């Protein structure tokens, strides 16, 4: 029924005092013959709130603890996760991870592990983040203010929803190569979505904003600006007609327009994809893969950006990784396993949703750098095409083919924006589209999002300036 008291020492206080217990576990793993053992400990304290119309309809706090233990032997690895942070629980998880690779905990030969380095404590300056964040009361007031503001701006809004979620995470990472690091992460998102109904027409519109490491983010949220933007979009799309399908030039707006680069190109530059043999760019380092107008980076350093971090989930500080320079592929995004299996050096990009996933090479803040044109110049260069003001989600197939829905689109006629259109989907393949990005505007901006992949759903930033794609398939009716 219950764990025995003697085995019940808990790994619940994440600080230097954990050193002897962690070193003992790592030493046991090393003695068993593993090349490397990594322990990831996690505590979370999250809350999500939902306001619908003029009521708070959901307040959901959640707490979590867990550990992930990863063992490498040669190029293979075994990974076990558990909610049980007792010594017995972690020992059991370690023995399982070792067992996956045919190893057993030995009682002899404990001298081949030299111990952990000094604790790198990135969390020490962040200890007040949780208490400095808005409490439930303050958060609910702000959300209700936002839905009330929406109703005052548009009588056609039948559904008005606003949500807030705060995710606080404390982690400790330790590995037999000496890594011993602690961090605290704080991510906040606010979302608004509406349904407008007029006669037989319906339109939906949604926006999400997010930040990392900024306890005041919700307080600073400009609900008036968001409400105006959302109302304009819903109202325009209420009168939109279905777009006619075909091949055409498009201009993609900045901010969340960058989701296409993230999905269609960024993922193919992760070593995870190289390992699978599914990246068409696997042999293209220092070769041209995009139009010379394209320079792109992935970094984890921008202040308060949703994908920024002090260290990745393998204890490495994030790098500013230049992916594409003037159309030439420069570097891949790599983690520990990626470096081991593909030879591409780590970039501080080992990321995971939580303890139950092994880290994998994942993007952080990924964007196309800005160019020199004003956004109007891009529109003016097109006789007949599509302006994608707001993008929805999308997906990428295993061989690089992608599709994205356009939430808010406008026809371009004779170099000017024309009527709004709905139902558009952009379809293409990364290696064919990258050479067709011919113009980048001078208005780079970023947007927060969640990215789901092999190591779960993580916080990322996408971004770009306005860009022009010379030709792309637009799905419609």
Residues 407 to 436: which contact other proteins by CB under 8 A? 422-425, 427, 429
Give 321 or 403: the residue with its C-beta nearer to other proteins.
403
**Distance between first and last Cα of the chain:** 61
Establish if 236 lies at the interface with other proteins (CB under 8 A): no
Question: Going by C-beta distance under 8 Å and a sequence separation of 6 or more, which residues neighbour residue 224?
Answer: 149
Establish if 33 lies at the interface with other proteins (CB under 8 A): no
Establish if 82 lies at the interface with other proteins (CB under 8 A): yes
Site stretch for other proteins (CB under 8 A), options 20-28, 119-127, 174-182, 399-407: 399-407
Give 310 or 356: the residue with its C-beta nearer to other proteins.
356
Structure tokens at 56: 């708070």
Establish if 438 lies at the interface with other proteins (CB under 8 A): no
Between residue 140 and residue 169, which ones bind other proteins under the rule CB under 8 A? Answer: 140, 158-159
Helix H or strand E encompassing 81: strand 76-82
The single residue among 2, 6, 17, 225 that binds other proteins, judged by CB under 8 A, is 2
Site stretch for other proteins (CB under 8 A), options 74-82, 118-126, 224-232, 300-308: 74-82
Establish if 103 lies at the interface with other proteins (CB under 8 A): no
Give 308 or 403: the residue with its C-beta nearer to other proteins.
403
Count interface residues toward other proteins (CB under 8 A): 87
Q: What is the dihedral of CA 212, 139, 451, 298, to 10 degrees?
A: -20
Least distance from other proteins to the Cβ atom of residue 135, Å: 9
Give 225 or 398: the residue with its C-beta nearer to other proteins.
398
Give per-residue burial for 344-359: e unless 16+ CB within 10 Å, then b. Answer: bebbbbbbbbbbbbbb
Count of beta carbons in the 10 Å neighbourhood of residue 380: 14
Site stretch for other proteins (CB under 8 A), options 70-78, 122-130, 211-219, 324-332: 70-78
Least distance from other proteins to the Cβ atom of residue 12, Å: 8
Q: What span, in angstroms and rounded, lies between the C-alpha atoms of 281 and 288?
A: 10
Establish if 246 lies at the interface with other proteins (CB under 8 A): yes
Least distance from other proteins to the Cβ atom of residue 197, Å: 9
Establish if 456 lies at the interface with other proteins (CB under 8 A): no
User: CB of 120 within 8 A of CB of 40?
Assistant: no
Please provide the DSSP assignment of 164-207 as one string. EEEEEEEEEEEETTS-EEEEEEEEEEEEEEEEEEETTEEEEEEE
User: CB of 44 within 8 A of CB of 14?
Assistant: no
The single residue among 19, 24, 35, 101 that binds other proteins, judged by CB under 8 A, is 101
Rg of the chain's alpha carbons, rounded to an integer? 24
């Amino acid at each position: 029924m219950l764990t025995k008291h003697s085995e019940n020492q808990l790994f619940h206080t994440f600080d230097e005092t954990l050193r002897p217990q962690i070193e003992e576990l790592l030493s046991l793993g090393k003695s068993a013959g593993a090349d490397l053992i990594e322990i990831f400990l996690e505590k979370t304290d999250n809350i999500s709130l939902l306001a619908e119309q003029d009521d708070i309809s959901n307040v959901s706090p959640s707490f979590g603890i867990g550990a992930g233990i990863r063992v490498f032997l040669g190029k293979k690895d075994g990974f076990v996760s558990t909610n049980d942070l007792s010594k017995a629980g972690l020992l059991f998880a370690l023995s399982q991870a070792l067992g996956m690779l045919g190893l057993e905990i030995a009682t002899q030969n404990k001298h081949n592990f030299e111990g952990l380095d000094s604790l790198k404590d990135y969390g020490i300056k962040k200890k007040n983040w949780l208490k400095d964040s808005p409490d439930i009361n303050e958060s609910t007031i702000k959300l209700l203010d936002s839905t009330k503001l929406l109703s005052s701006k548009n009588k056609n809004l039948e559904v008005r929803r606003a949500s807030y979620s705060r995710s606080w995470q404390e982690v400790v990472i330790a590995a037999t190569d000496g890594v011993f690091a602690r961090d605290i992460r704080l991510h906040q998102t606010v979302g608004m979505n509406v349904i407008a109904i007029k006669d037989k027409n319906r339109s939906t519109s949604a926006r999400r904003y997010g930040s990392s490491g900024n306890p005041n983010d919700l307080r600073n949220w400009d609900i008036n600006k968001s409400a105006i933007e959302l109302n304009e979009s819903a109202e325009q799309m209420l009168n939109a007609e279905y777009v006619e399908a075909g091949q055409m030039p498009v201009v993609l707006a900045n901010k969340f327009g960058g989701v296409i680069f993230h999905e269609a190109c960024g993922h193919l530059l992760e070593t995870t994809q190289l390992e699978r043999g599914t990246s068409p760019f696997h042999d293209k380092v220092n070769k041209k893969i995009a139009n010379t107008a394209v320079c792109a980076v992935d970094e984890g350093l921008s202040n308060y950006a949703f994908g920024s971090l002090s260290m990745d989930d393998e204890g490495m500080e994030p790098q500013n990784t230049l992916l594409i320079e003037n159309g030439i592929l420069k570097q891949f995004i790599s983690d520990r396993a990626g470096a081991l299996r593909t030879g591409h050096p780590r970039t501080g990009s080992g990321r995971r949703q939580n303890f139950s996933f092994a880290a994998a090479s994942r993007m952080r803040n990924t964007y196309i750098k800005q160019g020199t044109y004003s956004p109007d110049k891009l529109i003016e260069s097109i006789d007949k095409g599509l302006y994608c003001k707001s993008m929805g989600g999308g997906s990428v197939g295993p061989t690089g083919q992608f599709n994205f829905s356009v939430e808010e689109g406008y026809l371009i006629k004779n170099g000017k924006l024309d009527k709004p259109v709905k139902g558009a989907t952009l379809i293409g393949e990364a290696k064919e589209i990258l050479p067709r990005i011919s113009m980048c505007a001078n208005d780079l901006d970023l947007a927060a999002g969640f990215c789901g992949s092999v190591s779960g759903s993580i916080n990322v930033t996408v971004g770009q300036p306005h860009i022009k794609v010379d030709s792309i398939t637009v799905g419609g009716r």
